[in-house]
Structure formats: C-alpha cells, structure tokens
C-alpha cells in the first residue's frame, strides 16, 4: 500500500506537470537550452529556463567530481556528464539528491557506478519499491522524452540530520533542517565558500509548488538557512543568486500562510479563500513565473492550516 505521504507527493507531481511543466513536452515544445554558469572556481551550475527546469550543480576536483541533482531522465543526466567532461576526465565520485522528486533523481542510474548516491533517508523510502514505481508512472503520463529508459535508482548512502562530505578542497555540509518542500530535503552548505545549494527549498523568481510541502516547517528551514554566513545561493529552480532570493522565498511562504489563515479566521470556504488570496499574490508576484500554481498553493495552505486550527 502506498503511504499517504507518497500519495500526496505523487498528486503534487501530477499537478505540477499538468500546470505546464509536462505539457510543454506533451505539446511538442522543448525546454530552453540549459546554461552552464561558473559559480566559483571548479563549481558550476547548469541552469534551465523552462520545461523540466531543475538545476544541477557540479564540483570538479583532482579526486573526482560531485553532482548535485541528476535531472529527469538518463539522457538528461548524460548531458550533465558531457558538461562535466568539458572540465575533467575524472570519475563522478558522488551524486547527491536534494529531495526525491523525479526531476532531481530520475537520472541517478547514470551515476550508479559512483562511490555513492547520497540523500536524506526519506528519499530512499520514497524511491524504493512500489513508491518509486508510482512516482515514475505519474511522470510517464506526460510524454517527457526518455522516460521509458528510467530505472528508479534510490540513494545507497543516507543520513538523518547532518552529514559531512570531503572531496579535494571541498567540505560539504549536508543539512536536513526539517520538513519543507518535502519530508526529505537536503540543503548543502560550503562554509569556506559562503555558498548554499538550496534544492527546492528555494525557487528564484518562480512561484514554488508546495503541494507535497509543509509550509510552517519550510519557513523555519529558510530562517535557519538565512542564519548561515553565505553570499551565494543556488536554487532548485531559477538563476543563481544571493541571500535575497532565499529571503524572497521565505516572504512568499509567509504571505501565503498569512493571507490563508486570515481567511480561515473569518470562516471562509476554500473557494472564498482562493478568490480572496489569489489576486493579492498574483499582484505581489506578477513578475514571477508559474503564477498559475498559486491556486494549488492556496489549497495546500488551506488544508495545512485548517487541520492545525482544529488541533
């Protein structure tokens, strides 16, 4: 039997893809060409524009490479590997998944010969057995090229709260700060370089999807990230930025919570809440992408905070 958590997560993927991500492929469109951005010496981010647009980060060292998030299909993962080969012929030593969603993990099989595929323990649970197959089957309904090649590959090295990873000159701190975008998020902090790889805890100039998220705890996680000494933030979606993009994400979630709980206090129905909150958020974030996702975010907030109101 699929757990309630995974059912919610799978529904979230269905909604996201139907909202326009997967339909870009279903309609025969292609994602914007990825751009490889040099973040710092030997740290690169592959940034995607639209379609299945999750970002990938990779590190190059004399001992091997590290890849963070492996993309949505093996073919997309091989493109990441081709990009790495422009900078080094050393093997990929580690692959890291920031959470379980397929746009960040379905390329894992390309890196299964690495020393380890690393993630929070809940990512392994979400991608193992029938849970992983259910997640894959949802993605397959949206005609993304290359999905038939995917063999769901769970991480084989997991942690619970914190993990330290050393390779070459790099010291990566893998941090699980609590539930947020999912129940298995990893943020990566490189203290010496004042850099955070935030995964989908941060979207830059894009409305996030929160349907498999935990809004209160997500806000708490962003407060914790904000306390770190960092000047570079690599988001899960959108361009590389600084700490302001993290703060903007936090403000969006706080406003979503505030407006929805205000409506709940009035006794508003879900539809009344949508009608009241939607125009406010669309106006405030008119220059962000994914505005059509606001309704689903309101639904998730209404569910989370109506349950909390009753307890």
Q: Note whether residue 17 is domain-resident.
A: yes
Q: Note whether residue 301 is domain-resident.
A: no
Q: Note whether residue 105 is domain-resident.
A: yes
Residue 55 has what pLDDT? 97
Distances (CA, A) of 158 to 59, 111, 186, 216, 256: 20, 16, 11, 25, 32
290 band by pLDDT with thresholds 50, 70 and 90: very high
Mean pLDDT, the chain, rounded, equals 90
When pLDDT is averaged across residues 153-160 and rounded to a whole number, the result is 98
Please tell me the least confidently modeled range out of 23-27, 31-35, 202-206: 23-27
CATH code, domain with 145: 3.60.15.10
Kindly write down the DSSP assignment for every residue of 273-311, as one continuous string. Answer: HHHHHHHHHHHHTTTSB-GGGHHHHHHHHHHHHHHHHH-
CB atoms within 10 A of CB 166: 10
Sign of the C-alpha dihedral computed for residues 194, 198, 202 and 205 taken in this order = positive
Say yes or no to pLDDT of 53 above 90: no
32 band by pLDDT with thresholds 50, 70 and 90: low
- Domain span holding position 35: 4-243
Domain total of the chain = 1
**pLDDT tens-digit readout, 261-271:** 999 999 999 99
**pLDDT tens-digit readout, 253-263:** 999 999 999 99
Higher pLDDT among residues 42 and 310, named by residue: 42
Residue 38 has what pLDDT? 97
Q: Note whether residue 140 is domain-resident.
A: yes
Instruction: Give 33's DSSP letter.
Output: P
When pLDDT is averaged across residues 193-207 and rounded to a whole number, the result is 97
Q: Note whether residue 264 is domain-resident.
A: no
34 band by pLDDT with thresholds 50, 70 and 90: confident
Residue 23 has what pLDDT? 37
**For residue 186, what are the contacts with CB-CB under 8 A and spacing of at least 6?**
96, 97, 98, 99, 119, 120, 174, 175, 176, 199
Please tell me the least confidently modeled range out of 42-56, 114-128, 139-153: 42-56
Residue 142 has what pLDDT? 80
**φ, ψ dihedrals at 117, nearest 5°:** -105, 120
When pLDDT is averaged across residues 97-102 and rounded to a whole number, the result is 97
Residue 50 has what pLDDT? 60
Q: Note whether residue 30 is domain-resident.
A: yes
Please tell me the least confidently modeled range out of 46-50, 122-126, 185-189, 243-247: 46-50
**pLDDT tens-digit readout, 118-149:** 999 999 999 999 999 999 998 898 888 999 99
Say yes or no to pLDDT of 6 above 60: no
16 band by pLDDT with thresholds 50, 70 and 90: very low
Q: Note whether residue 138 is domain-resident.
A: yes
**φ, ψ dihedrals at 200, nearest 5°:** -85, 10
What CA–CA distance (Å, rounded) separates 34 from 257? 33
Residue 170 has what pLDDT? 97
State pTM to two decimals. Answer: 0.90
**% of the chain with per-residue pLDDT over 90:** 82
Q: Note whether residue 308 is domain-resident.
A: no
Residue 194 has what pLDDT? 98
């Amino acid at each position: 039997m699929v757990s309630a958590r995974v059912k919610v997560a799978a529904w979230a993927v269905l909604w996201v893809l139907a909202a326009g991500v997967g339909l870009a492929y279903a309609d025969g469109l292609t994602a914007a060409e990825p751009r490889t951005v040099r973040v710092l010496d030997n740290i690169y981010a592959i940034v995607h524009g639209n379609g299945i647009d999750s970002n990938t980060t990779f590190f190059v060292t004399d001992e091997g490479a590290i890849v963070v998030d492996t993309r949505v299909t093996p073919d997309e993962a091989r493109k990441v590997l081709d990009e790495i080969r422009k900078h080094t012929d050393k093997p990929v030593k580690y692959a890291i998944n920031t959470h379980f969603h397929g746009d960040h993990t379905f390329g894992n099989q390309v890196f299964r010969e690495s020393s380890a595929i690393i993630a929070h323990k809940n990512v392994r649970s979400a991608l193992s057995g029938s849970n992983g197959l259910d997640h894959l089957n949802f993605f397959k309904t949206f005609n993304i090229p290359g999905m038939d090649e995917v063999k769901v590959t769970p991480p084989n090295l997991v942690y619970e709260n914190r993990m330290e990873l050393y390779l070459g000159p790099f010291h990566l701190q893998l941090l699980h700060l609590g539930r947020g975008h999912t129940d298995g998020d990893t943020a990566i902090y490189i203290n010496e370089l004042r850099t955070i790889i935030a995964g989908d805890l941060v979207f830059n100039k894009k409305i996030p999807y929160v349907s498999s998220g935990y809004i209160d705890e997500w806000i708490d996680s962003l407060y914790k990230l904000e306390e770190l000494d960092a000047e570079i933030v690599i988001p899960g979606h959108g361009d590389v930025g600084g700490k302001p993009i993290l703060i903007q994400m936090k403000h969006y979630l706080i406003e979503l919570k505030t407006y929805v709980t205000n409506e709940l206090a009035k006794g508003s129905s879900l539809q009344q809440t949508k009608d009241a909150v939607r125009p406010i958020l669309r106006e405030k974030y008119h220059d962000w992408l994914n505005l059509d996702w606001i309704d689903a975010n309101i639904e998730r907030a209404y569910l989370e905070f109506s349950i909390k109101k009753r307890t």
